[in-house]
Amino acid sequence: MLIVIHELLHLVFVPNFIKSDKTYIGLTYFGGYVLTEESIAKSRYLLVTVAPFVILSILLPITLGLLGILTPLLKVLILINAMASSVDILNLILLLTQVPKAAVLKNNGTKTYWKLKP
């Protein structure tokens, strides 16, 4: 269930994901994925990449802690999400260090390409 929630958070930050014929969500033996072949600005791609980590591993525990309902089970699930987000964090680092600020990103299957906005 945690994987599904994590991937749905990626999905809702993809622009126009409901109308898109090029946006997909799925599960494999190795985890879940969201794939869009739409062109996305770098800033939006960064948001899509980090949203589940920020929401589930930073904002959720702070909120639950302030409300006094952060149980040991929830702490374990939050930690698992943080560890599972390691690929998202690696993707974030690569985007920040290798893609120019004014770039547009586009996936073609499992490969991601960027080009500068015209």
pLDDT per residue over 19-56, tens digit each? Answer: 999 999 998 888 899 999 999 999 999 999 999 999 99
77-81 long-range CB contacts below 8 Å, 24 or more apart? 77/2, 80/2, 81/2, 81/6, 81/52, 81/53, 81/56, 81/57
Q: Is the pTM of this model over 0.85?
A: yes
Q: Is the pLDDT of residue 105 over 80?
A: yes
Residue-level pLDDT at 42: 97
Between 118 and 33, the more confident residue is: 33
pLDDT at residue 109, rounded to an integer: 85
> CA triplet 29, 88, 98: central angle to 5 degrees?
125
DSSP 41-76: EHHHHHHHHHHHHHIIIIIHHHHHHHHT---HHHHH
What was the pLDDT predicted at 31? 86
